[in-house]
Structure 1
């Protein structure tokens, strides 16, 4: 495992974990846009859980690479769904946010060997 892979995996896990924490604690800057996009409130715990599991999987992937790859794929799918949700809500100013969160995950997948 390269140093770059280690760094981007930890960064991706930290970002996904922070995002999950923000959903769980109902941070205003996260839940207000979710409500605006029409995401049902009953989904929020599941979305936070998916991000938390992805973050944990990226860290576990440093020991068991297959888990990291699976977690990375899951997070890429999650944030692709987020991009689609934001685009469907016609909130173009927010399209960059899912891209920022998915970037280190994609880099981690690219550097996985």
Structure 2
């Protein structure tokens, strides 16, 4: 179980860390996504910080289990909010969302299973 916990946690942290960097460096993709979902562009860096906090929180969970649980829960909630944003504008392009959401759910499940 430990190997699964470490693997899924690191994978989720890397996925979300890369996404956070794209949001924080001002890459065009997050801006286009914000425009498509009718979210103010001023939110893009904030959303990037949330992803970065989730990514770092997952890693901090190795030392402080509660932080890992909270970070995983926060990422699940973040991606549920992203789903609402997609559906609100009628977007059905959810493949990328599904990968990130499944990873967040997996890390939460594995963390709770290992730590609980």
TM superposition score normalised by structure 2: 0.90
Higher RCO (C-alpha 8 Å, min separation 6): 1
Q: Which secondary structure does the structure 2 equivalent of 1:92 belong to?
A: coil
Q: Which secondary structure does the structure 1 equivalent of 2:107 belong to?
A: helix
Partner Cα separation in structure 2 for residue 43 and residue 35 of structure 1: 11
Q: Which secondary structure does the structure 1 equivalent of 2:26 belong to?
A: coil
Give per-residue Cα distances to partners, 1:53-108, cap 9 Å, x unaligned. 00000000111111000000111110100011011111102x22222112222112
Task: Tell me if the contact between 1:8 and 1:105 (Cα under 8 Å) persists in the aligned partners.
Answer: no
Partner Cα separation in structure 2 for residue 88 and residue 101 of structure 1: 19
Q: Does 1:51 align with 2:48?
A: no
Task: Tell me if the contact between 2:30 and 2:44 (Cα under 8 Å) persists in the aligned partners.
Answer: no
Between 95-104 and 84-93, the greater mean CA deviation after superposition: 95-104
Runs of 4+ in 1 over 6 A off after TM superposition: none
Report the RMSD for the aligned CA atoms in angstroms.
Answer: 1.2
Partner Cα separation in structure 1 for residue 27 and residue 14 of structure 2: 17
Q: Does 1:80 align with 2:84?
A: no
How far does residue 45 in structure 1 lie from its aligned partner after superposition? Answer: 1.2
Match of 1:63 in 2: 63
Alignment length (residue pairs): 112
Q: Point out where structure 1 has 5 or more consecutive residues left out of the alignment.
A: none
Q: Does 1:110 align with 2:109?
A: yes
